[in-house]
Amino acid sequence: MITAVNAANAYNAARSAVQPDMAAAPASVAKLGEAAQDFASQMAQVDAVSTSAMTGQTDTHQLVQTIAESQLAMETVVAIRDKVVEAYQEILRMPV
């Protein structure tokens, strides 16, 4: 019979098997955070250039170039998100 105590003990024993490698984690987490900051700054730049273009302070060519760059960044983020969701769904389909 499975009790809550037995389940908790089994979980505690198995936790080390699925725990991330702490030696490699800081570098990968830092790179992920850096990528998120780069994306946020790209979107902030688009907002600033768009506002400047509406007030006549920025050239139309600069606006189009910035929008094209932001579109590429957005497509990259969406592609990464799709891959993460696909991997998660694949994990969910694995037999236990």
Quick one: tokens of 70? 């932001």
Residue 67 burial (10 A CB sphere; 0-12, 13-18, 19+): middle
With respect to residue 4, please indicate whether it lies within any of the assigned structural domains: no
With respect to residue 37, please indicate whether it lies within any of the assigned structural domains: yes
With respect to residue 7, please indicate whether it lies within any of the assigned structural domains: no
With respect to residue 1, please indicate whether it lies within any of the assigned structural domains: no
With respect to residue 48, please indicate whether it lies within any of the assigned structural domains: yes
Q: Is the pTM of this model over 0.75?
A: no
* Alpha-carbon dihedral sign for residues 42, 43, 47, 50: positive
* Residue pLDDT, tens place only, 11-67: 777 777 666 666 666 777 778 888 888 999 999 999 999 999 999 999 999 999 999
Supply angle C-alpha 66, 69, 75, rounded to 5. Answer: 140
Measured CA to CA, the distance from residue 40 to residue 31 in angstroms comes to: 14
- Considering its fold, how many domains does the chain have in total? 1
Range of the domain at 29: 21-93
